[in-house]
Structure 1
Amino acid sequence: MSTAEKLIMDLPSGPLDVYRKRATFDWKSFKLALEGEDDIRFQKKLWGLVKTHPAFQRSTRQLTLDELRQRCNAQIQALYTNDLDPVHGRKNFLYVVQLDGSLSVKMGVLYGMVPNTLLVLGTEQHHQMVAEFGIQNYIGCFALTEISHGTNAKGMRTTATYDIATRSFILHTPDFEAAKCWSGGLGKSSTHALIFAQLITPDGVNHGLHPFIVPIRNPSTHLPFLGVTVGDMGEKIGLNGVDNGFLIFNKYSVSHSCLLNRTADVTEDGKYVLALKDERKRFGSSLGALSRGRVTITVMCAHYMTLALTIAIRYCSVRKQFGPTEENELPVIEYQSQQWRLFPHLAEMYAIKIFSNHFCNIIMELDNNTLEENENSNADAGMEIHALSSATKPLCSWIARDAIQDCRESCGGHGYLKMSRLGDIRAENDANCTYEGENNVLIQQASNWLLSQWANVINGRFVSSPLGSVDFLNDAERILNTKFNQITMQDTLRPENLMLALRWLVCYYLKKTYQRVEVLKSNNASDFDAKNNSQSFLARTLSLVYGEHFLMAYFIKYLQDPKWKANERKVLIELCTLFGAVTLEKRVGDLYEGGYVFPNSNITSFLREGIIILCKSLVDNAVALTDAVAPPDFVINSPLGMSDGEVYEHMRKWFFENKENFERASWWNELRPKL
């Protein structure tokens, strides 16, 4: 038996066999190449535990908010004791998103974000605390956001004033608007909070936002310490296993050692000392540390899309409506309109999955460099990671949002039933559009960094790009002078030619946005107003195109890996091409306006005809492409998306297993009050 046959279980026979037999590649072999043996073994261990452990058995009734929190904690304990947490599973642990997004959010904070920030921004005294979090003596949360300030980190108003007499920091919340909020795990669970506060020295100087690790609850009683008010924020649209909380300090004194002092410190006599003299390096190192959550979100988006697309494509491959004759109904996946609204999302899901795994590897490498104190490389890499994550987190979460909605609609009325699970998936992913930086604000941060790179271009300075996301800007003048010269649809759709157009778009929007900002400044606008008034249609689009370009660039690079068999590479090329074509078709007006294509060019027709042809070609492989990434049925938990394709039988069981569906309403005698 091959490794794939040994590791990956067969799927049951049923109505989906028709499409599985039409596939041009072996889905098991493809899955092994796509995810790797270690990844698949991790999934096997994870899903094996989920299937058998009591903590994961689903309730037959609606749980209360407190019960949801308790269940999430019990499941975390089960995963932790079986080495299926972020420490042991690294990025692989994010497969738990497919079971319940609450698990990934809370575990990511507890075992990922808090300990990693201690390692990266703290020193030896803080590194020793990491072990306490590792054995769960401490439970941590990440507290940056405040009631009146979210993405604008510099606007945070919680203060940490150093007191020479007690050699401690006095944490204070000036009013309710400055209360820390939305911290996952803070509401009921955390013993410690990793907070960011304005550091004020005894001379009254505010040195800006700095990180502190602060005890907030007594580990013996789990009650808040004197001077700390902590509470739960209540029920949310989704992710209710996470106890998001708020936190208020009333002149709360904490040890001097609570300051994470890798980049800056305060001496015992109250003097502020920069450990990194270069402010750029300090800022870059901090940005890299704060980007991890956004990088993680891109992975989560791929998992949510995987669930939604598996459910929708399997359902649409079984659901039959209309046809050439009344006796010959077709599966709705055979209709062009259904292909057009599902298969581009399938291509996007693969693009995001491939990119996000790569991005996670980059951030882990940055962590290692930070621990080895490679400060020079960290500064540039940290700022580029911040920019790239600030562009791709919004891009991926918006793509996932739209994909999940299209999946819901493509399943018609049955998709609106809670049993389909599409509503819950939509609600859970919705948070990705807001936390770790609200999307519309994040993309402004990405555009600010990009504009600084264009300043380098026009001044003849080298553009440093450790990640390679903008290294082509060193050749920007030549790129902007290129023209579209393809005369066939086939040549237009070559991934490398689609890439050239996307690269031109980045340069075009970067130059255009920069010029707009400069014009506004020349008319006496402040730097703030100039950037603020160049967002719609310019800076916003610039950031999104920058993210789209990088996803496409890495997809193309990924295709070159020798691990792929010829038939596997062929279907991946189709997905890559579809992703690029759909992305570019949305921007085709810009290609004309900017002069990349001539008025008599057929690029619009080439792209649209190509998209239709690619979608039609993917019909045979769509089910196999979802099989290769889908979790087991008990994780999918949707009658519409089970691997046997027996949609209507699973729906029947779902209806009949709930006794309340057949009971007389308790208010039946109110239906006809006149009787």
Structure 2
Amino acid sequence: MDYPGCFAMTELHHGSNVQGLQTVATFDPLTDEFIIDTPNDGAIKWWIGNAAVHGKFATVFAKLMLPTHDTKGVSDMGVHAFIVPIRDFETHQTLPGIEIHDCGHKVGLNGVDNGALRFRSVRIPRDNLLNRFGDVSQDGKYTSSLPSINKRFAATLGELVGGRVGLAYSSVSVLKIAATIAIRYSLLRQQFGPPKQPEVAILDYQSHQHKLMPMLASTYAFHFATLHLVEKYAEMKKTHDEQLVGDVHSLSAGLKAYVTGYTAKSLSICREACGGHGYAAVNRFGSLRNDHDIFQTFEGDNTVLLQQVAGDLLKQYKEKFQGGTLTVTWNYLRESMNLYLSQPNPVTARWESEDHLRDPKFQLDAFRYRTSRLLQSVAVRLRKHSKTLGSFGAWNRCLNHLLTLAESHIESVILAKFIEAVQNCPDASSRAALKLICDLYALERIWKDIGTYRNVDYVAPNKAKAIHKLAEYLSFRVRNIARELIDAFDIPDHVTRAPIAMQSDAYSHYTQYVGF
């Protein structure tokens, strides 16, 4: 920690489109150096963590420009990473040619030091190129083990996967804290009740159960899905298996986008569920919401990441029909695509018994059927529109469809991991509780998208009603063990910190805070 650094990728004008970065690193063969330059204001490095106050050097992402002997003068080799000292290691003074400013006050995470960097013809040794995927010799010759700019770029950005894994897992922790505060308070707070009888806990109201119990079920679902992702990531780092690299790349993109988006919405719901006391800063919803909000943007904007998932699914779909194989994460499409795309069975479309609706096979089949239909239909639409609009225009025309496909697929993966966790649970009573919330997660998601299932007659009207009714009943049953489910997160009071979520004497903690 003597020489803290910073990761200087994002620019004022370019974030998600990293290949469009404008900072340049031009090789000078006479001095054996690279010259780092910010050609315009749009190329100023922005939101660089650790830059404004602490950073001694930066890993700068820039377009590598090599001199040529033709009329163009230079050749653009694509985005590469360079180590650029930004402050003197002894005096901490900003080095010549470098300008640094703080990015200013933010909505949240103001403990994070975000700065902006401008480079004016800053020279660094040739050795400062991070050259795992591409190198430059002293005479200006470029060599790489990867055949194209796109492949080198993909390999360079592959390391961002770790950040996405961490964000998905961290977002679940934020959701656990918010759910803990909201549910504990909803069990404590009483409001109204039958005439001449004690008031009832607000969690006894169906409307409150509808807000919080499916969210609690989703929190458990995300816990198991992100735990699986962390394990896959650890395995990938150990083995460097190519199949696993692609698998983790798409899974981390999808889970990061889906979980952080869900958590951001849920924080507002939890605040509302606690009424006026949820608005008190000490009860933390404001700070949790503000600090978590950026999770939807950094390490990959969620809308962009979901498009990566959709693109990967389409690639696998195309390969399937050309005799190729599908990757591990998507293998349910390989195994059952034809089954899922056949006409719905008119008999099972009417089955409405509780045993059938709580059967993991029915739930998983329903999720996967929807994903398969979306994948097939968007492939047909893209093919049709690309003839007149070109590939970019066709993608944009189908963009909402593609995002829905990616979310549907990620939900299928989440449910599969939840079902697996339930089946592997060694304790019978814990397994029964997990099964209950797994069923609530699955049926609530099916009901939320019931129009899709009705449109293709996958679910008959009577079955749709039965799904809705059972989801409400399961919410009521989950309410009865909500305290135990929250306690199982094992979050200590000094971590939860909200007075209204204290496990005992919540009101006395709250009143002490304001001075009583």
TM-score clears 0.5 = yes
Q: Is structure 2 residue 491 aligned with structure 1 residue 626? A: no
Q: Does the C-alpha gap of structure 1 residues 578 and 195 become closer, same or farther in structure 2, counting only changes over 3 Å? A: farther
Distance 2:253 2:4 in 1: 28
* Aligned equivalent of 2:344: 483
Percent of residue pairs identical? 33
Shift in Å at residue 471 of structure 1? 4.6
Higher relative contact order (CA 8 A, sep 6+): 1
What SS does the corresponding residue of 1:456 show, helix, strand or coil?
A: helix
Residue 134 of structure 2 contacts residue 144 of structure 2 at CA under 8 Å; is this kept in 1?
yes
Give the deviation of 1:414 after TM superposition: 0.8
**Does the alignment pair 1:448 with 2:319?**
no
**Is the CA contact (8 Å cut-off) linking 2:78 and 2:153 kept in structure 1?**
no
Per-residue CA distance 1:537-570 (angstroms, 9 max, x = gap): x1010111111111111111222325x3000011
1:532 partnered with 2:393? no
Aligned with 2:210 (options 332, 340, 356): 340
Could you tell me whether the CA contact under 8 Å between 1:348 and 1:399 is conserved in 2?
no
Distance in 2 between residues matched to 1:389 and 1:382, nearest whole Å: 11
Match of 1:653 in 2: 512
Question: Is the contact between residue 462 and residue 474 of structure 1 (CA under 8 Å) also seen in structure 2?
Answer: no
Structure 1 range deviating more: 412-421 or 576-585: 576-585
Per-residue deviation at 1:388? 2.3
- Please name the residue that 1:221 is paired with: 91
Deviation string for 1:98-157 (max 9, x for gaps)? xxxxxxxxxxxxxxxxxxxxxxxxxxxxxxxxxxxxxx1221222211111111111111
C-alpha distance in 1, partners of 2:7/2:193?
A: 55
Q: 3-state SS of the aligned residue for 2:16?
A: coil
Change (3 A) 1:325 1:403: same
Q: Give the match for residue 418 of structure 2.
A: 555
Cα distance, 1:612 vs structure 2: 0.9
Say if 2:363 and 2:442, in contact at 8 Å, map to a contact too.
yes
Partner of 1:72: none
Cα separation, 2, equivalents of 1:256 and 1:326? 83
Q: Which residue of 2 aligns with 1:265?
A: 135
Distance (whole Å) between structure 1 residues aligned to residue 220 and residue 180 of structure 2: 13
Q: CA deviation at 1:493?
A: 2.6
8 Å CA contact 1:288–1:381 kept in 2: the answer is no
Partner of 1:636: 496
Of 250, 264, 283, which aligns to 1:401?
Answer: 264
For residue 194 of structure 1, what is the aligned residue in structure 2? 59
The one of 110, 135, 138 equivalent to 2:3 is: 138
Asked if structure 2 preserves the Cα contact closer than 8 Å seen for 1:196 and 1:209, the reply is yes
Query: In structure 2, do the counterparts of structure 1 residues 165 and 181 end up closer, same or farther at CA, with 3 Å as the change threshold?
Result: same
Per-residue deviation, residues 376-417 of structure 1 (Å, max 9, x unmatched): x32x43333332222222210111012111110010011111
Matched, 1:518 2:383: yes
Query: SS of the counterpart of 1:238?
Result: coil
Q: Matched residues in 1 for 2:222 and 2:188: separation?
A: 27
How far 1:595 sits from its partner (Å)?
A: 4.2
* Residue 430 of structure 1, CA deviation: 0.7
Match status 1:575 vs 2:437: yes
CA distance in structure 2 between the aligned counterparts of 1:416 and 1:385, rounded to whole angstroms:
38
Task: Quote the offset at 1:286 in angstroms.
Answer: 3.4
CA distance in 2, matches of 1:312, 1:338: 10
1:210-251 alpha-carbon deviations (Å, 9 max, x no partner): 222322211112222111112211111111110111111111
Q: Which residue of 2 aligns with 1:47?
A: none
1:630 deviation in Å?
Answer: 4.1
Q: Does 1:254 align with 2:116?
A: no
For 2:436, give the aligned amino acid: E
Query: 1:150 aligns to what SS in structure 2?
Result: coil
Q: CA deviation at 1:279?
A: 7.2
Single out whichever of 150-159 and 623-632 deviates more from structure 2. 623-632
Contact kept? 1:310, 1:630, Cα under 8 Å: no
Gaps in structure 2 of 5+ consecutive residues: 69-73
Partners of 1:240 and 1:247 lie apart in 2 by 19
Cα distance between partner residues in 2 of 1:207 and 1:173: 17
Looking at structure 2, the residues matched to 279 and 362 of structure 1 have their Cα atoms a distance apart, in angstroms, of 28
Check the 8 A contact 1:473/1:507 in 2, yes or no: no
Cα-to-partner distance string for 1:620-662 (whole Å, 9 max, x where unaligned): 2111111121422122221111121x232122101116xxxxx
1:156 is matched by which residue type in structure 2?
Answer: L
Aligned to 2:470: 610
Match of 1:417 in 2: 280
The equivalent of 1:500 in structure 2 is 365
Asked whether the equivalents of residues 59 and 82 of structure 2 are also in contact (C-alpha less than 8 Å), the reply is yes
* Equivalences, count: 507
1:595-639 deviation digits (Å, cap 9, x = unpaired): 433xx3433212211211111111221111111214221222211
